[in-house]
Each structure stands twice: as structure tokens, then as C-alpha cells.
Amino acid sequence: MKPKILVTEALGPEGLAYLREHAEVDAYDLLPPELLPELIGNYDAVIIRSAHRITRDLIVGRPRLKVVARAGAGVDNVDLDACTEMGIAVINAPGANAIAAAEHAFALLMAVMRNIRLGDLHVREGGWNRQAFLGEELHGRRLGIIGLGRVGRQVARIAHGFRMQVGAYDPYISADIFEAHGAKQYRDLESLLKDSEILTIHTPKSGPHLDERLLRLLPKGAYVVNAARGGLMDEAALAKLLEEGHLAGVALDVFSEEPPRLDSPLFRQPRVVMTPHLGGSTFEALANVGVMTAKGVIETLQGITPPNLVNVPIPPLEVPELHALDTLCRALGRLFQELHPSVNHRLILTPGRHIPGEALPWIRQSLIAGLLQGHLDERVNTVNALIKAEQQGLSVMVSDDGKAPERTSLSLMWEGHPETLIEMDWTDGAVHLRRLDNVPFDLVWPEVALITHHRDTPGIVGQVGTLLGQFHVNIGNLHLGRRAQGEEAWMVMTLDERPPEGLTDALRHIPGMLAVHLLA
């Protein structure tokens, strides 16, 4: 049965077409916000833009809802905490409109520096006074960028085309990123402001707020651009500094209140260019945002971790590596939960040397989710794994004892119980089982696996094979392992398809059989 998705605002034909390949879709150019509460509970996912808010009250009591998506970079109109508590994945489209936003910042900047708006009005009124509208060039000017993320990097790229001197402040970005984008790194915001003849900001709402004190640090005659988020700059202070002549011009695409009040002091300043939040509004950006959002929603509904999942610490990895680790985590978590369902409060996770350190917080959550899914009646997934783990008194310690293998591997065991250790790795494009209950194995992990835990006595393997034949089940591969002769043994069988009902019960009645597990 296909999932149902509600699209509340225009998404673009490319994004809608992708959604409709995989789901039933009800799409609106603009759904009246008052209708959303009565509709949202009927869908597996909802996609919004700017006209709707996803609040706690809106999602409480809607157990069907699994995904909330914001077709854009920000998620300011989504209650992230509430979604996380309820295990609802939040998707956005970071960077899909980065080029559009960066180009718009320069469009605004050039409009104010070259008097485009004032010159246009002058000509429309019949004037032709060229001397009254002398402008300034970008060439050689010192550009300061606050926030060297996806948009900020595109701004730096464009600035180099104008032969500008580029500097940037971003405490969350490594020096290598600054160097790669030809931007001088400033360690503190004040130093950047003092050096910037032109200032542009490209941060989320959590970025620095530029009040009058900070804005006064800009050189006299500086220009200021905000095409990122409203509220990042004190708009009254901008108007005051313009009136004093400290600033030469201001260009704004976003405002603390949208639309801005008509009595805003900015409206009285001729050296201001304003647009109605158009930064990401291009046909190309709309298509990119729509497709990225649609793919993230569908992947999440299919149980795949997308790179644009907001309320999970997704590591900054290339998509193939992310999906490989995702597959590895799911296989290990599912197998461990099946073999060791009793929660013993503390897990020991040991990553291989090829596991990126930045991926560990996400891996930790993913494994906890896999472990708890079989224990709780309510929804448990990677989104709310840490919350549910705390409620259950479960924790995971990441171990680095210097003995981890030189490969992309993960091992998991209950603390103090090395006999529960399971190790898997990602090799040659597939998950491999390396240790099962601390017994060595070497096999590609199959889609359908039958595992027996039995006494190491003659005849059991033969009886298992006989029963599978009686149930018309074909064994693709068979792997055996044991701790010592005559003690406990394990057998992992690769099956071509899920076996019929009754097989596992029949296997459990074999004398000497300790446990039977089917993973499919």
C-alpha cells in the first residue's frame, strides 16, 4: 500500500512527479492554513513551505504522521522538539537554493550601489540626470561574509569573479574550508566588521544578531545586505545609521516581521532596496528544492536515512558512504535485537578505524533505535532513540581500546558480556558478518537469514537440513561456527525466500536446539 503525502503549497512539477512515482499525493498551490488540522492526520507525510506552521498541538494524536518536510532551507515554522519526541522525521532542502540566494544577494547589492531603483524611478518620471545617480563598483572592495555555509560559499565564489577581497567569519567551519573558497578567516566577528566595506550575512536564525553597537563597527560608507533570515539585523539601527550617513546603503530581502510594517523607519530611507523574501525564488531553485524535499520524504518513508534529515545528527558524508553506513547500522541493530532482546542497560559500541568520527553520534542513535524497536509498543526510530533510551535507562558507550580492526566495521555487545558481541562490516559494497556471539564468521549478510544456536552434537545439522527439505526451503549458503568442540555452536543459513509458517517451531523441537532466529 502506497503512503499518502499532503503538499500544502506549490512544490514544482519535478518534485510532485517524483512523489507520485512512490506515493498517493494530494497537492495544493496554497492550502488554507485553517484546513490543515483536520487533514494532517490522514497522511504519512506533510510538505509545507512558509505559509503553514507545524506545532505541537497540530501533531499530537496523529499517529499516522511519520514525516514533516519543509521545502526550503529553514525549519523555523516546525516544532522540532515536538517532532523529535514523537519520532517524526523532519526534512528540509539545505543548499538546493544556495545559488539563487547568493545571486539575489548580489542583485540587491548592485541595485543599491548602482542606484538601480532610484534611477529607474527617475527615468519613469521623465528625468535624465546621470550625475545624480553616480554609483560605486564592487571591484577591489572588501567583502565580509558572516556564515560560510552553502550560500556563503556561493557568495565567495561570485565575489571572486568581481575581483573582490573576501573575508569571512564562521566559528563552525574549519580553516580548510576558508582556504578552499579563497576567504580570509576571521576569528571574531568584531574584527570582520571593522574590515568590511560590504557586509552580507548567511546564517540560520541562530546566527549572530547585529545590533547598533556591532553595526557601528563597520567603516563609514559601508553597505549591508541581508538575504538570509529576518531578525539577524536590528532594522531600526540600520535606518538610524543610514540617516546619520554612517552606512551608504542597505539591501534587505528578509525582515523581522514579514511583510514589514509600513511605518518602519526603513521606508523613509531612499538608500534602501527591499524585496519580498525572493532569495530562493527562481524556477531552477524551486525545481531543486522540490526534488530534494521529495527524495528526502520518500527515502525516509522507505526506511532509508536521507542526508537532509534535520532532527538526527546526520554526518557530513557523501551520499554513497552515508547509505553504506546506514545499511550496516540497520543490519547490526536488527540482528543484535533479535539475538539479545533483554536490555542490560549499557551497550559497548566499538567502531572500526575506517568509521568517520563525525558519524558516531548518528550511528549510536541508529543502533539504539534498532535495539528498542522490539521492546516498546510506541514508535521508536532514530529520531527519538535518545529520548526513549533515557526513559528505559539504556546507554551506549563508544569504546576505543586501540584494538579495533582497520576496516569499516561496527561491533556491539552488552557491557560485561563479551559472549554477546556481534561484529559486522561493510566490504565490497555489502554487509559482512564477522563475529556472532563472539564466534568468528565470514559471510555476506543475506536478505533472508535463518540462525540456529544448538549443542555441538552429531546429527543436528542433518536434522535441520531434513526439516528444511520437508518444508521445501532451499539453502543458498550455510556457515557453521563454534566456541569449542562439544559445546555450543551456531549455524547461519542464507535462504532464497522467507520460509513458510511452522518451520521455526519445528526446528526448536530438535533435541539439543537452544534457539532459532529468522531475519527477513
Last residue of some domain: 443, 477, 510? 443
- Mean pLDDT computed over every residue of the chain: 94
* pLDDT score of 95: 86
Classify residue 382: in a domain, yes or no.
yes
Identify whether residues 83 and 156 lie together within a single domain. Answer: no
Residue 181 appears among annotated catalytic residues = no
pLDDT band for position 351 (50/70/90)?
very high
Identify whether residues 365 and 235 lie together within a single domain. Answer: no
Question: Would the pLDDT of 205 be above 90?
Answer: no
For the chain, the straight-line distance linking the first and the last C-alpha, in angstroms and rounded, comes to 19
Alpha-helical segments (H) within 181-223: 189-195, 212-215
What residue numbers bound the domain in which 29 lies? Answer: 4-94+285-311
Rounded distance between C-alpha atoms, residue 159 and residue 200, angstroms:
11
Which residue has better confidence, 19 or 486?
A: 19
Identify whether residues 228 and 165 lie together within a single domain. Answer: yes
Rounded distance between C-alpha atoms, residue 271 and residue 83, angstroms:
43
188: alpha, beta or left, given left = phi > 0 and alpha = psi -120 to 50?
Answer: beta
Residue 229 appears among annotated catalytic residues = yes
Domain containing 471 — which CATH number?
3.30.70.260
Rounded distance between C-alpha atoms, residue 402 and residue 399, angstroms:
9
Of the residues 229, 340, 432, 434, which is catalytic? 229
Of the residues 257, 258, 284, 390, which is catalytic? 258
Identify whether residues 427 and 473 lie together within a single domain. Answer: no
Identify whether residues 22 and 70 lie together within a single domain. Answer: yes
Identify whether residues 460 and 517 lie together within a single domain. Answer: yes
Across 162-181, average pLDDT: 94
Across 6-10, average pLDDT: 95
Identify whether residues 462 and 479 lie together within a single domain. Answer: yes
Rounded distance between C-alpha atoms, residue 15 and residue 10, angstroms:
10
Identify whether residues 149 and 270 lie together within a single domain. Answer: yes
pTM: 0.76
Cβ atoms 423, 410 nearer than 8 A: yes
Which amino acid is located at 148 in the chain?
L
Last residue of some domain: 311, 327, 358? 311
> What's the domain count of the chain?
4
pLDDT band for position 376 (50/70/90)?
confident
Across 189-195, average pLDDT: 98
Which residue has better confidence, 458 or 343?
A: 458
Across 39-43, average pLDDT: 97
Q: To the nearest 5 percent, what fractions of the chain are helix, strand and coil?
A: 35, 25, 40
Angle at 120 between CA 114 and CA 124, to 5 degrees: 160
Of the residues 150, 277, 482, 498, which is catalytic? 277
What's the DSSP call for residue 280? T
Domain containing 182 — which CATH number?
3.40.50.720
Across 87-92, average pLDDT: 96
Cβ atoms 111, 132 nearer than 8 A: no
Identify whether residues 320 and 220 lie together within a single domain. Answer: no
Rounded distance between C-alpha atoms, residue 404 and residue 334, angstroms:
22
Residue 472 appears among annotated catalytic residues = no
Question: Would the pLDDT of 41 be above 90?
Answer: yes
Identify whether residues 130 and 250 lie together within a single domain. Answer: yes
Question: Would the pLDDT of 73 be above 90?
Answer: no
Classify residue 262: in a domain, yes or no.
yes
Classify residue 279: in a domain, yes or no.
no
Classify residue 191: in a domain, yes or no.
yes
* pLDDT score of 216: 98
Identify whether residues 106 and 205 lie together within a single domain. Answer: yes
Classify residue 280: in a domain, yes or no.
no
Q: What is the pLDDT of residues 397-422, one digit of tens each?
A: 998 766 778 889 999 999 999 999 99
pLDDT band for position 4 (50/70/90)?
very high
* pLDDT score of 343: 64
Identify whether residues 15 and 82 lie together within a single domain. Answer: yes
Q: What is the pLDDT of residues 273-328, one digit of tens each?
A: 999 999 988 999 989 999 999 999 999 999 899 999 999 999 988 889 999 999 99
Sign of the CA dihedral with 456 first, then 457, 462, and 465 last = negative
Rounded distance between C-alpha atoms, residue 238 and residue 197, angstroms:
15
Residue 27's closest CA among 276, 222, 297, 269? 297
If you count DSSP H runs as helices and E runs as strands, how many of each does the chain have, helices first? 17, 22
Strand duo 346-351 + 409-414: pairing:
antiparallel
* pLDDT score of 509: 94
Classify residue 416: in a domain, yes or no.
yes
